[in-house]
């Protein structure tokens, strides 16, 4: 067994998500045909942007906090190349954020939800911080940091969120 698909996200035995990125890009490329047809029927540009956002952004960001840390630089560049192509054909605005910024925003949104909703299912994974007698600079959260002890651990979304917000 070379890969596992869990909740629509495909990981291989080395925790790489290249196969998942390929599936997302092929699905999005198939939807570009619909945008091309709408363009030939002279759909206004603003409406084209809305039609682009509706299916494409959710496809790109589905479960992204769980898998975006396992993307290689080549995967990120493939996703960015797709967005550049969409910008070139005027399917999305030129100021549309890069894939890295979209992933970062999704991570921030997940962390905010976990921090503010006491009954969030991921809340038990975040350990409450112990009080110290010394005074250091304030952090944006009150959780204890997990020790980063392996390369895989650095890519896990909880570790990424805690160290990003520290």
Query: What pLDDT, on a 0 to 100 scale, did the predictor assign at position 120?
Result: 80
Task: Compute the average pLDDT of residues 14-38.
Answer: 87
Taking the domains of the chain in order of start, what are their residue ranges? 3-96, 104-165
Interaxial angle between packed helices 18-40 and 45-61, expressed in degrees from 0 to 180 and rounded to the nearest 10: 160
- Residue-wise pLDDT for 42-91, tens only, equals 989 888 899 999 989 998 888 888 888 888 899 999 999 999 999 999 89
Q: Flag whether pLDDT at 143 surpasses 80.
A: no
In 3D space, the residue among 63, 80, 79, 66 whose CA is nearest the CA of residue 160 turns out to be 66
Q: What is the DSSP letter of 143?
A: B
Higher-confidence residue of 16 and 54: namely 54
Q: Which residue has the tokens 């605005």?
A: 93
Cα dist. 136→55, 107, 146 in Å?
Answer: 45, 25, 18
Q: Which residue has the tokens 């002890």?
A: 149
- The partner residues of 9 in beta bridges, in order of sequence, read 6
What's the CA dihedral at 60, 66, 71, 75 to 10 degrees? -10
> Exposed (0-12), middle (13-18) or buried (19+): which is 79, by Cβ within 10 Å?
buried
Question: Which range (26-40, 88-102, 114-128) has the least confidence?
Answer: 114-128
Task: Compute the average pLDDT of residues 5-28.
Answer: 81
Q: Which residue has the tokens 């890009």?
A: 25
Query: What pLDDT, on a 0 to 100 scale, did the predictor assign at position 123?
Result: 73
Average pLDDT over the chain reads 79
Query: What pLDDT, on a 0 to 100 scale, did the predictor assign at position 129?
Result: 57
């Amino acid at each position: 067994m070379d890969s596992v698909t869990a909740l629509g996200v495909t990981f291989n035995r080395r925790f790489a998500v290249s196969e998942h990125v390929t599936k997302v890009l092929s699905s999005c490329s198939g939807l570009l045909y619909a945008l091309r047809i709408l363009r030939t029927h002279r759909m206004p540009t603003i409406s084209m942007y809305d039609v682009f956002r509706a299916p494409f952004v959710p496809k790109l960001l589905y479960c992204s906090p769980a898998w975006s840390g396992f993307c290689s630089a080549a995967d990120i560049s493939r996703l960015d190349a797709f967005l550049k192509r969409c910008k070139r054909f005027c399917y999305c605005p030129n100021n549309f954020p890069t894939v890295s910024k979209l992933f970062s925003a999704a991570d921030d949104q997940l962390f905010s939800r976990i921090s503010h909703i006491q009954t969030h299912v991921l809340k038990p994974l975040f350990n409450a911080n112990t009080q110290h007698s010394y005074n250091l600079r304030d952090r944006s959260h009150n959780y204890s940091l997990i020790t980063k002890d392996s390369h895989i651990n650095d890519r896990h979304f909880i570790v990424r969120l805690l160290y990003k917000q520290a």
